[in-house]
Structure 1
Amino acid sequence: MKRNINIFEFPLNLGLKKKDHETEPGVRKLPDWLRKFDFHKKINPDHIFRLDAPEYSMELDQESGVLNSLSIIDYAQKQADFILNNHKDNSFNILLGGDCSILIGTALALKKLGNFGLFYLDGHTDFILPNLSSTKAVAGMDLAIITGLGHEKLTNIQGLKPYFEEENIFCVGNAETDDEEYVAQIVNSYIHYFDLTQVRKNGFRKTAEDFLKMTGIKNLDGFFIHLDVDVLKDELMPAVDSRMEDGIDYENLREILKPLIHSPLCFGIEITVLDPDYDQKGMYTQPFVKNLIQIIKNKED
């Protein structure tokens, strides 16, 4: 059965620490940037919704140890309500960031809807506490936060901790494997973890199918996909906040996403961290848009 498609635009950049040469991280331009390359037109959604984000700041919250926590918490609650008020049953929802901190608002919404799984496709694990973060930025800790790791202000919004159970999560594609202390955090959790080497060994389609099998066995109410574009090889997508040389290619992306996106249990997918300021001619964005549309629309060319 054909599903209705919604696009939600969440142009939040408070989860990133701006670089010295930046006025602010450019990821807040992502929804408009994708529109420029006809993403919205070719997806042809039933509805497009937008929740504007607060102005950028770099306010360190001493209590939680992270940047902009109060503004991020406030936006997450508004985002959750916005999703709940606008999504329809049996719709497929495309969420355009923004940075990875938009996952918190999505997680709150899904926690209110039931018991959901998460397929976390990212070039980093984002599963650390503030003491291991050099930036103190939420986008590098969002997976930890949504599973209840970190300060209660962020992890227990509205008393809903944890927003996702660790054992219902696949974290796939981490390329930051040289830092043993960084990797140890997720290895010692209950999250199903596949770094780049492991996912290549297991197979991209099989990893997706294993996740779908898990959601069935656990009788979950559905699942959500997080896609940080920094999971792609640097030669394909250098327009990101934290570049890593190694990553997956578009064939790998197609293999892993198609079974997930076309499952009736898939609530939707979020796209994060593509920064238009680092791709001013769109030479990296255009092939990304083309491939993503093909995957979502289930086309081969």
Structure 2
Amino acid sequence: MIALLSAPTNLGLRPPLPTAVPGCAKAPEALREAGLFARFADLGARDAGVVLPGRYADDSSPGRLRNQDLIIEHARRLAGRITEIRAAGDFPLVVGGDCSLLIGAGLALRAAGRFGLAHLDGHTDFRHPGNSSACASLAGEDLAAAIGRHWPAIADIDGLGPYFRPTDVAHVGCRDDDDELVEVSQAVRSTIRASEVIRDGAADVGKRVREQLDRTELDGYWLHLDVDILDPAVMPAVDSPDPGGIDAEHLVGLLAELAPRAVGAQVTVFDPDLDPDGHHARQLVDILATGLSELGRAR
């Protein structure tokens, strides 16, 4: 059974304005209002509740992420809830929230064994202290942290880092001009740009990624989706929209190939503040309810 777990955190994002906080913390309830939970309930899914974050503080300083202590505390609690869901035999679908959720998922899975990661994202999220002096927002650094290339405070929580081995990670969806494209391509098992998905087709790319991660030495793989993988013409309601992304049909195809063998998934970075009439929320619900309907079904 799919278990939907709300995680309305915005702790990993920079503030959109000096006196404002990021809007993606509103995403779980905006998607609920747009029908996400009802659509999955019709598929037999259950509502597994919510893991609330602490109050956004924007307290970054040299050598520390903004909201770092709050992120670590939330990651531990999220990991505990994911562990409980999996122990019950269900498949967690974490509805975020920003990409810092990957750390909580990584904590839960690393404590349980060796898992792979399908990282579907419009950016590589590979900024880290080794390639940038501007580290501050985990949502742009989550993949680097997940494979151990960040400050130990975030990349080695409770001595469990790296949460995913680099050879067990496949990234899909970055743009051709991504700042860390070369580095991440050398670091992880495979890197497939959005332009390659458009060229080769979602079914082919999804099958390749699934075959890379669905290996006997792994206990399964986690599916991370940042909706900015979509082109801004399709999904402008995200923190960092960049041209050159895939369309809704491509995304549904990727999810449909990867979801059945995944042990769980997370959806991140939809920002309801940028979707005042709810149009894009309803569109995203259609994508998720179609593409993730078989989450965990083939395991």
TM-score relative to the length of structure 2: 0.91
> Cα deviation per residue 1:258-294 (whole Å; 9 max; x = unaligned)?
121122xx11211100000000101111111112112
Q: Which residue of 1 aligns with 2:139?
A: 139
CA distance in 2, matches of 1:201, 1:89: 40
TM-aligned CA deviation for residue 233 of structure 1:
1.1
Partner of 1:76: 75
Aligned residue number for residue 215 of structure 1: 213
- Asked whether the 8 Å contact 2:198–2:250 carries over to 1, the reply is no
Contact 1:174 1:194 in 2 (8 A): yes
Paired position in structure 2 for 1:280: 276
Q: Secondary structure at the match of 1:262?
A: helix
The residue aligned with 2:55 is 55
Q: CA deviation at 1:22?
A: 5.7
Name the structure 1 match of 2:289: 293
C-alpha contact 1:61 1:69 (8 A) present in aligned 2: no
Partner of 2:197: 199
Q: What one-letter code is carried by the residue in structure 1 that aligns with 2:276? A: Q
Runs of 4+ more than 4 Å apart: none
Query: Partners in 2 of 1:129 and 1:48 — Cα distance?
Result: 33
Q: Verify the 8 A CA contact 2:197 2:250 in the aligned structure 1.
A: no
TM-superposed deviation, 1:5: 1.3
- Whichever residue aligns with residue 165 of structure 1, its letter is R
Equivalent residues of 2:169, 2:213 under 8 A apart: no
CA drift at 1:55: 0.7
Paired residue type of 1:183: L
Q: Which residue of 1 aligns with 2:167?
A: 167
Secondary structure at 1:226 match in 2: strand
Cα deviations across residues 23-64 of structure 1 (Å, max 9, x unaligned)?
210111111101101110110122322111101111114333
Q: Report matched runs for 1:106-255 at 5 Å.
A: 106-130=105-129, 132=132, 134=134, 136-175=136-175, 177-178=176-177, 181-255=179-253
Counterpart CA distance in 2 for 1:184 and 1:217 is 25
State the 1:218 CA deviation.
Answer: 4.3
Q: Find the counterpart in structure 1 of residue 297 from structure 2.
A: none
Moved more, 69-78 or 124-133: 124-133
- Aligned-residue Cα RMSD (Å) equals 1.8
Structure 1 SS opposite 2:263: strand
Q: 2:5 pairs with 3, 8, 11, which one?
A: 8
Counterparts of 2:106 and 2:210, CA distance in 1? 19
Q: Is the 8 A contact 2:195 2:244 kept in 1?
A: no
Identity of aligned residues (%): 33
The CA distance in 1 between the partners of 2:18 and 2:233, in whole Å, is 22
Distance 1:148 1:194, change over 3 A: same
Pick from 267, 270, 278 the counterpart of residue 271 of structure 1: 267
**Cα gap change, 1:227 to 1:87, in 2 (>3 Å):** same
Contact 2:122 2:230 (8 Å CA) reproduced: yes
Contact kept? 1:132, 1:182, Cα under 8 Å: no
Contact 2:27 2:97 in 1 (8 A): yes
Cα deviations by residue, 1:137-185 (Å, 9 ceiling, x for unpaired) = 110000000100011111111111110011111100102x335x52232
Structure 1 residue runs of 5 or longer lacking an equivalent are none
Following superposition, the deviation at residue 133 of structure 1 comes to 6.5
Instruction: Flag the 1:21–1:234 CA change in 2: closer, same or farther, 3 A.
Output: farther
Distance 1:236 1:22 in 2: 29
Cα distance between partner residues in 1 of 2:196 and 2:220: 25
User: For the structure 1 residues 279 and 133, does the alpha-carbon distance in structure 2 shift closer, same or farther, using more than 3 Å as the test?
Assistant: farther
Aligned length: 290
* 1:40-51 equivalences in 2 (<5 Å): 40-44=37-41, 45-51=45-51
Find out whether 1:258 has 2:256 as its counterpart.
Answer: yes
